[in-house]
Amino acid sequence: MNLRKVLSVDTIALDLKSDTKDGIIEEMIDLLMAAGKIRDLKDKKEALRVVLERERKMSTGMQNGIAIPHGKTDRVDNLVAAVALKKSGVDFGSLDGQPSRIFVMTLSPDTRTGPHIQFLAEISRQLNDPAVRDRILQAERPEDVLDILSS
C-alpha cells in the first residue's frame, strides 16, 4: 500500500503537547479534524469516543516507542490516518514498558477491514526498522516524515 494515499503533510504532527494517553488521542483526533478528514464536531466526538473505548479494552502501545491508537466508526467513509510525535515520550501501557514516542492513529469505517489491515501492515513494516524510527524522530518537517514512510 502506498502510504501517501492515506497520509499527507496535514495529518502529521511533530510536537504533540499532551503528557497523557487520552490527551495524545484527543490531539490526534484534532489533527484529523483540522485536516478535513473528520467532517464535523459530531463526527469528531464519535471518533474520539471509539478510539478511547478501543484503548480502554486493550492498550495500543506496542514496543520500540510506537503506539497505534485506532477505532472503527461509520463517521468516516474511508480509512483516515495521522502520524504524530512526542519526542519525550508518554506512558501508553506499551508491551515493553517503554514510553511511546511515535503515534499512528487510524479511523476506518465499520464495514471495511481491508484498507485498515493493509495500512497497518505497511506502516508496521516501516517502523520495525530502528533506522526508520530514528529518522522519523529527527524529522524537522512533516514532509520529512512523509518522505521517510513512503520511501
Across 133-139, average pLDDT: 97
Across 15-20, average pLDDT: 96
Tell whether 95 is covered by a domain. Answer: yes
Tell whether 78 is covered by a domain. Answer: yes
What pLDDT is attached to residue 103? Answer: 97
d(CA 121, CA 115): 10
Average pLDDT, whole number, for the chain?
93
Global pTM value: 0.94
d(CA 110, CA 113): 8
> What range defines the domain where residue 117 resides?
3-145
Tell whether 72 is covered by a domain. Answer: yes
d(CA 115, CA 109): 10
Tell whether 26 is covered by a domain. Answer: yes
Tell whether 151 is covered by a domain. Answer: no
The CATH number that applies at residue 38 is 3.40.930.10
Could you identify the residue written with the cell 512533516? 142
- For residue 58, count CB atoms less than 10 angstroms from its CB and return exposed for 0-12, middle for 13-18, buried for 19 or more: exposed
Tell whether 150 is covered by a domain. Answer: no
pLDDT at 64 over 90: yes
d(CA 148, CA 95): 25
Which triple of cell numbers denotes residue 15? 510536537
* Count of structural domains, the chain: 1
136 pLDDT band (50/70/90 cuts)?
very high
Q: How far separated are the first and last CA of the chain, in Å rounded?
A: 12
Share of the chain above pLDDT 90, in %: 81
Active-site positions read 70
130 pLDDT band (50/70/90 cuts)?
very high
d(CA 77, CA 107): 10
d(CA 49, CA 107): 11
Q: Are 82 and 28 in contact (CB under 8 A)?
A: yes
